[in-house]
Amino acid sequence: MKRTPDTKPPLAAALAAMIRKIPRGQVSTYGAVARAAGYPRCARHVSKVLNQVPGLPWQRVLGSGGRISLSGEHGLEQRFLLEAEGVRFKGGHVDLGSFEYHFPRSRRKPSSERQ
DNA sequence: GATATGACGTCAT
DNA sequence: CATGACGCCATAT
């Protein structure tokens, strides 16, 4: 057969899937999401996905250190939404140590050969 | 194929 | 802590 016209590369789907897993009241970061999805160097693409795919908990994705990357009204909106779901800000950023969501570890191989 | 872009990350100053 | 430079990498033109 000709070839699958990959209209939707796994990248966007994988990132979106990870973003959807972030529970209410918790947050993650662009880099962490990218890594969890299996694309450690694609932090920038996370933002693209947040813009493309509607319905994602976009407000739960922050920059490194728990800082909001959006600027202006958008940034305020993000902070507002997060605080509304229980995420507290401290010194202009979120304390990741307390609110970061840790994605479950991918299992390379079932119990046989761990390493 | 080349260039520009982006809600990034890290390091140096 | 603020700023600047550079690296990264899929998309869009």
What pLDDT is attached to residue A111?
A: 57
Q: How far apart are CA A25 and CA A94, in angstroms?
A: 11
Q: What is the per-residue pLDDT across A36-91, written as a single tens digit (0 to 9) for each?
A: 999 999 999 999 999 999 999 999 999 999 999 999 999 999 999 999 999 999 99
Give, as ranges, the nucleotides of chain C with any atom within 7 Å of a protein CB. Answer: 1, 7-11
Q: How far apart are CA A99 and CA A82, in angstroms?
A: 11
**A96: which residues sit within 8 A by CB, 6+ positions away?**
A27, A29, A62, A65, A66
- Which nucleotide lies closest to A11 by the C1' atom and the CA atom? C10
Contact (Cβ atoms closer than 8 angstroms) between residue A22 and residue A96: no
Q: Which of A64, A68, A73 shows the shortest CA–CA distance to A87?
A: A68
The pLDDT tens digits of the residues spanning A16-29 come to 999 999 999 999 99
Q: Is the CB of A91 under 7 A from strand C?
A: yes
